[in-house]
Each structure stands twice: as structure tokens, then as C-alpha cells.
Amino acid sequence: MIVLAALVLGSFQNPSDSYGRFVERLAHAQTLEGRSGGMRFWFKRPNLLRVEERDEAGKLFSLYVGDGKHDCIYDAIRNTLGQQLSAPTGFLWHFRLFEPFLDGTGPLWNEGPEPPTRVVQGGRDVDRYKLKPTKGTAGTVMDLDMDAKTELPIRFTIDRPGAARKVIESFEDLKLDSTIDPSIFTYVPQVQANSTDVTSGMLGIGTKAPDFTGRLLVGGGQFRLSTLLKRSKAVILDFWLVGCGPCRDELKDLADLRKRYGAKGLEVVSVGLNDETRIKEFLGDFSTLVPVVVGTTCAPDPTFTFKATMTPTTYLLDSKGIVRGRYADTEMAPIKKDLARLGIGG
């Protein structure tokens, strides 16, 4: 914790402003809670967290609880409960501003911000800062609005080059070092959920993936899975939905794999599950990283045919279309391990 505080405070030329004081408080805080859009979250060092997502009527539709040993992911829509080894950083894409608090790294930006611009919003004084990132795409711009009175964040915006839309996080009821009941970090089913491994609902290892066709987003050429398999030693199929920021960022990692192992027979195909217009708008310049397929002819659709009910849903197929790996996150290590088993990489 002391190391983290030094890393954060060392990044600011003048920690006497509202932003500098907030960062100092964040570095020393043991707990953090608040709201962001339809989410309510609680975090406690070193690795306890709970995130609830509710609809406009207040009905719970997803719950993520990390108790330090395992994650519990409850899906109220499908009434399923998934468990995996605890990895709270996997949820950080929702809360980039608090990443230093959650994963113990240094700050997201490499130098103290310039003096803020004072504006008035909704009758309150707001300090607006521009931050320069140390992580992510070069040229990314981050804007932060701070309540000048409470010295707490109000709005955090990330604008990446080539992205069609900005990532906007709005915060309410933020609290640092509040007392959080330990039971918050224990999963208690709202109903009798069907306990399942995160990937158990996907196509089984050893099963043959169904053939499908579609159009390439760039160029408009025709795509057929069986045709691609004939000229490949292995194919990574990645299904995702518009709005999943990590899915879009994952394309860079998949592109790296394709570049590194393409000569050994690896091909990568990204399958967007929304309409073409929304996919183009969402991907922006990311659409050229790997082949992106739209307008698929899976019957009734990929969500059911490939059981792509989580986003992202990723499969590794061998040259015969047999599933050799399945993944429900954006980690590359398991994929690389399975590629090695197929004689690719190592």
C-alpha cells in the first residue's frame, strides 16, 4: 500500500488541488463504494468486490461478487451462477479511474495534470482536468470532472483514437474508507440459481463447430467457415456484442496472435453479433485489425448455434472444425497454451 501511494503521489507536480488530494486519499483508502450508471459497486483491499447491475425499475439482472478466492457471477436473465478463480482485474474495464486502487499498479497517467478549468454544472463548481495516459492506445485523451467542494470524481471520459464512441463513466455517492458489512462480499442467491462453470454452457471440447457463412465487414467479400478451415491449421472464432469495450480491445491481442502465428497456419475471425451499421460505428479503426464477419447465416443465430451467450465467447478450432479450446474472457494465456497443443506457438 505504501509503495502504491508513493507511485501515485510521485506522479503529481502539485498535489494541493482537488484532483491531487483525491488521488492521495484513493492511494490510502481501504474501501471504495459508489454508483456508476446502473451499477452499484463496493471494493475493499486487497481483492474483495461486489458489483450489482439493475434495470431502470431497480430489478437486479446481474451480480458479480469476488470473495478473494473465487468470483461468483449471477445472471438473473438466464438464472445461472458461474464460478471461476478470483480475478477482480477482469472487471476493471467498468472502472478505469479506480484501476490503481483495485489492481495495485501505478496511476493510469504519466504526469500531473495541467491546472483545471473551472466550470459550473447544475449549480455546483466543477474542476475539469485533462490527463495523459501511461496505458492503452497512444493518443488517448482522458477528461476528468471533479466536484470542487467534495473533491470527488463526477465524470470520467476516455477518448481513444479510431474509436467511434467515447467511454463515459459518471459517478454518484462515492465514498472512501466507509465501513462495509463483510456480508456484502459473500454471494447469497436471490433465487435458486443453476450452478455452472463459466464456460459450461458453450460448445463442448471435442465437438464439431457448425458451418456458417457471412460477409466481411471490410471489403464485403463472402465468408464461409468450412472454406477457411481447409486452408488453416487452426482458427480462433471470437463472438462479441457492440458495447463490450474489452471485446474491442481484445482484437489487438488477437491481431498479434494472427501476425505471430499466421505463417504456422493460424487464422482469426471476429464475429459481430449486431447489425453491420452498429458494428462499424463501434469498431472504428479497430475493424481492420482482424477479419470481422457480419450478417452470419447461423440458424437460428450465433447466440444459439455457437452458444455465444457471454461476450466475448471465443473458440479455438482445429483444421477439422473440432473445438479444442473455449474461453469466456479476454485473457490470451489459455489460448496460447491450447495453440501449443496444436503445434502452433509454444
Q: Given this model, what pLDDT does residue 165 score? A: 60
Judge if 215 and 317 occupy the same domain.
yes
Q: Given this model, what pLDDT does residue 178 score? A: 94
Judge if 189 and 334 occupy the same domain.
no
Judge if 217 and 298 occupy the same domain.
yes
Cα distances from 106 to residues 88, 91, 102, 176, 267, in angstroms, run 17, 18, 11, 19, 35
Judge if 41 and 122 occupy the same domain.
yes
Judge if 226 and 110 occupy the same domain.
no
CATH number at residue 158: 2.50.20.10
Judge if 37 and 142 occupy the same domain.
yes
Domain of 316 in residue numbering reads as: 199-341
Helix H, strand E, coil C: the string for the chain is: CHHHHHHHHCCCCCCCCHHHHHHHHHHHCCEEEEEECCEEEEEECCCEEEEEEECCCCCEEEEEEEECCEEEEEECCCCEEEEEECCHHHHHHHCHHHHHHHHCCCCCECCCCCCCEEEEECCEEEEEEEECECCCCCCCEEEEEEECCCCCEEEEEEECCCCCCCEEEECEEEEECCCCCHHHHCCCCCCCCEEEECCCCCCCCCCECCCCEEEECCCCCEEEHHHHHHCCCEEEEEEECCCCHHHHHHHHHHHHHHHHHHHHCEEEEEEECCCHHHHHHHHHHHHHCCCEEECCCCCCCHHHHCCCCCCCEEEEEECCCEEEEEECCCCCHHHHHHHHHCCCCC
Q: Given this model, what pLDDT does residue 63 score? A: 77
Q: Given this model, what pLDDT does residue 134 score? A: 57
C-alpha grid cell, residue 246: 474489452
Cβ contacts of 323 within 8 Å, gap of 6 or more: 203, 204, 205, 206, 207, 208, 209, 315, 316, 317
How many independent structural domains does the chain possess?
A: 2
Residue type, 166: K
Judge if 167 and 93 occupy the same domain.
yes
Judge if 15 and 160 occupy the same domain.
yes
CATH number at residue 276: 3.40.30.10
Q: Given this model, what pLDDT does residue 283 score? A: 85
Judge if 186 and 227 occupy the same domain.
no
**Which of these three, 195, 216, 233, is where a domain ends?**
195
Q: Is 346 a member of any domain?
A: no
Q: Given this model, what pLDDT does residue 84 score? A: 46
**Which of these three, 137, 171, 195, is where a domain ends?**
195
Judge if 172 and 206 occupy the same domain.
no
Mean pLDDT, the chain cut into blocks of 10 residues (346 residues total): 29 54 83 86 84 78 71 60 45 58 53 76 88 62 87 84 69 92 75 53 84 89 94 92 74 91 93 80 84 75 66 88 86 89 83
Q: Is 290 a member of any domain?
A: yes
Q: Is 103 a member of any domain?
A: yes
Q: Given this model, what pLDDT does residue 6 score? A: 28
The overall pTM is greater than 0.75: no
CA distance 307 to 207: 13
